[in-house]
Amino acid sequence: MSKSRSSLVGVAVTKEKTTNRQIKELQRRTISALALGTCALAALFAGPIPFGFLVLLVALVMCWEWGHIVRSGGGTDWSFIVHGLTVSAAILVAMFVSSELALVVLVVGGATLLVINSDNGPGVSVLGALYVGIPAISLICLRSSQPYGVTAVMFIFAVVWAGDIAAFLGGRQIGGVKLYPSISPNKTWAGLVSAVGASILVGIVFWSFLTDAPLLYLLACAIGLGVVAQLGDLAESALKRLFRVKDSSDLIPGHGGFMDRMDGIVAAACVALAVGLMINSEAPARALLYGS
């Protein structure tokens, strides 16, 4: 066999191995995503309390992952305990008392973290409590806003999940110019545009089911949340890059950790609640969907 022929065979074998690895990775990602999505939707439809406890469980894992990421950057052994207790207390208060008081609990817990880490990364410790706690409270508040709580949370999930899938496929299939290579080398402008396109489709689908919902508003809301979700993804990537960590953990096959999967939800949920409260503080879920 000639040298050139051997080289061609070697290249073909390498490409085949790469393709097989990508297929297996996609299979793992798909199975994990379906399992997590099924659990999330089951809890969402089961009621505010089951949904709240699922949020609590995920939040505690994210508290642990936050510590895993920033451990080299500071924080005492008590940081995770105070972080977890603060977020847990805030979520339980949001579920059974009020979201306003839950925010007070977060502030008190953040102040405590500030004190015990006064000489070692206090800002990062306080940010961890807010990063996990505020979106958790936002989701619980929206889910509890009747009668549109389920639909509002589904809207957020749909926008973020569709955007993530579209961004992944767009980045892989189209590629092109990198979005922000110094923070996330795999993200591309094609992926972002694909995510926005998916958000538009989600807005159209929800508009077709929501009677009297204004189309332009719903499209603007979907696009806005879609872009915010992608920015949330970049922000989490920047945090990992800062502390030189590839994934927040390896708990989810093919995805990394829960922070890696929830980064878009974290950002979108906070903005969604803020929009709903600004429009109608008495019914934020309906306000998010109808703009009134």
pLDDT, greater one: 184 or 111: 111
Q: What is the mean pLDDT of residues 216-227?
A: 96
Secondary structure percentages of the chain, helix, strand, coil, to 5: 80, 5, 15
pLDDT of residue 15: 55
pLDDT of residue 19: 61
pLDDT of residue 256: 76
Does position 74 have pLDDT exceeding 50, yes or no?
A: no
pLDDT of residue 230: 92
pLDDT of residue 73: 47
3-state secondary structure 23-55: HHHHHHHHHHHHHHHHHHHHHHHHCHHHHHHHH
pLDDT of residue 18: 55
pLDDT range class, residue 71, cuts 50, 70, 90: low
- Span 240-257, pLDDT tens digits: 888 888 878 778 776 678
| Nearest CA among 140, 50, 40, 129 for reference residue 93 | 140
Mean pLDDT, the chain, whole residue set? 86
Q: Locate tokens 């590839």: which residue?
A: 246
> Phi and psi of 288, rounded to 5°?
-60, -40
pTM of the model: 0.89
Q: What percent of the chain has pLDDT over 70?
A: 86
Does position 219 have pLDDT exceeding 90, yes or no?
A: yes
pLDDT of residue 277: 96
Residue 248 · residue 68 · CB < 8 Å: yes
Does position 72 have pLDDT exceeding 60, yes or no?
A: no
Does position 87 have pLDDT exceeding 60, yes or no?
A: yes
pLDDT, greater one: 99 or 75: 99
Return the bridge partners of 178, or none: 188
Task: Break the chain into its structural domains and give their ranges.
Answer: 46-144, 148-292
Does position 233 have pLDDT exceeding 60, yes or no?
A: yes
The two three-digit tokens of residue 235, written as one number: 């922000």
Does position 119 have pLDDT exceeding 70, yes or no?
A: no
pLDDT, greater one: 184 or 291: 291
- Span 17-27, pLDDT tens digits: 556 666 677 77
Residue 234 · residue 180 · CB < 8 Å: yes
Which residues, 6 or more positions from 157, have their beta carbon under 8 angstroms from its beta carbon? 37, 40, 41, 44, 265
